[in-house]
Every structure is written in C-alpha cells, then in structure tokens.
Amino acid sequence: MARYELAGVGMRYSGTPVLSGVSLAVDGGGLTAIAGPNGAGKSTLLGIMANLRGGYSGVCAYDGLNLERWQRRPFARHVAFVPQSLHLEFPFSAEQVVLMGRTPHATGMFETGDDYAHAEAAMRLTDTLQFRHRDFRSLSGGERQRVVLASALAQSAETLLLDEPTTYLDLEHQVSIYRLLRERARAGSLIVTVTHDLNLAARYADRVLILSEGRLVADGAPADALSPERVAEVFRVPARALQTPEGRPWIVYGD
C-alpha cells in the first residue's frame, strides 16, 4: 500500500466544484510535482493532503488511515506543509519561526537541545542561518520563503508538501531548494510540490501530475506528462518541447 491513497477526492466551494474525482497513490522515494493553470485545484488538493481542508468528498488516507481519523499532533510528525507565504502580525525572529516547526515534538514548555539542533540544521540547508535573529517581517520575500521552508524541514517529517516553494526565489536558491528536495526524495522522503515552473518540474521531478479544471488530466514521468500537445491544451499557450544535452525535456512556451 502506498503512503498516500486518494480515491475519488472532490471539493466544492459554495456549490462550484474546484476538484473532482482525483484518485492517486503516492509513495516515498520520489519527488512529485503538481502543475496546472490558476484555479485548477492544485492548492486545494495539497491542502486536503495536508489535512488542512475538510468537507471534501471521497477518501484520502495516509499510512492506511483516513485523514479525519488522524490526530493533529502525530500527523504533524509525519507530514510537514509549506504554505505559499506567511504574513506575521508580531515581531517573531526567523529562528523563532523555524523553532515553531518543533511544536509537534514538544515534550514540555521549552525547546530541548535536540529542537535547537534540528532548527539549526534546517536553517543551514536553506541558507537562512545568517539572519536567524532578524525580525521575520523585515526579510525579503525570498528570504521569508526559505525560513518558512526551514520551519517545515525542522519538523523532521518523512513527507513534505510544498505550495509553490520557489515563487520568490532567485535562480541560485531555486536550484538549491530543488536539489535539496530531490536529495530528500532519493533518501526515501515523500515530496509533493505545487509549481508553475514546468522546466524546474521537468528537470527535478520524478513524476508530474497535471490538474485542469479540478480534474487530474495527466500523471506520469515528466517527459510524458509534459508533452507539448498537453501543455498547449491545458495552459492554452503555444508550446514546443526541446531536449537538453542530457536528454531531459525543455518546454518552450509563448510566441
């Protein structure tokens, strides 16, 4: 049995279907990218998998147990979620935001040495250690995004769900984050990331899911899922597929 089992998952927001009939199984050891146009249901699907959205139809199970039956705390030790962004009203430091990732492991009111070690390792991986003491709100968009990712990494969960984790990142950090995700996946983690960057998905993902109008229209290896015909049809842009020297697909879109 796969770690994630989804069968006929659907969701409506005040009557309008945003997701319908999504069935899939995802297992550890791979990096899965979810792509699709705006409003295709990507974030909704990820939110359901992260057990943050209720009121959906169908079944979503993790480790053989339906998500409604999971308790929040143990679930958070298995699955970490990285939102698109985080807006804080209060002056928490970057390190405090990262340490929040240790909440599901808390044994008392205060952090242990183990908690600090995990937080520091996560900040090293995301290149955020240098501004650990700065007010989170004073950081740039990309820096904040890396801190949010570090907080999820500090959760030391075997599954990582990410909602557009590289939107605000410069090229160096886009590549280093995708490298990190691929490395984790190779080591056995289950990683699912929503992305708009088809070429990053094609380059680093082992599997690509394409959503269109709430339906899963493609599920397979990047080269198959991201065929130029499908990209043109789903995203409604002219598209061509080139090949990188290593034989990976490179999608050219637009005029």
* Interface ranges with another protein (CB under 8 A): 50-52, 72-77, 80-81, 83, 86-92, 96-97, 100-101, 103-104, 106, 109-113, 116, 120, 137, 155
Residue 29: CB minimum distance to another protein, A: 23
* Cα gap 176→150, rounded to integer Å: 13
Quick one: 42 or 207, whose CB is closer to another protein?
Answer: 42
Quick one: 69 or 72, whose CB is closer to another protein?
Answer: 72
Residue 212: CB minimum distance to another protein, A: 26
Residue 54: CB minimum distance to another protein, A: 9
Burial of 37 (0-12, 13-18, 19+ CB in 10 A): middle
Quick one: 89 or 172, whose CB is closer to another protein?
Answer: 89
Residue 141: CB minimum distance to another protein, A: 14
* Cα gap 252→255, rounded to integer Å: 9
Q: Phi and psi dihedrals of 239, rounded to 5? A: -140, 145
Quick one: 35 or 154, whose CB is closer to another protein?
Answer: 154
Q: Are 8 and 25 in contact (CB under 8 A)?
A: no
Query: CB neighbours (10 Å) of residue 147?
Result: 26
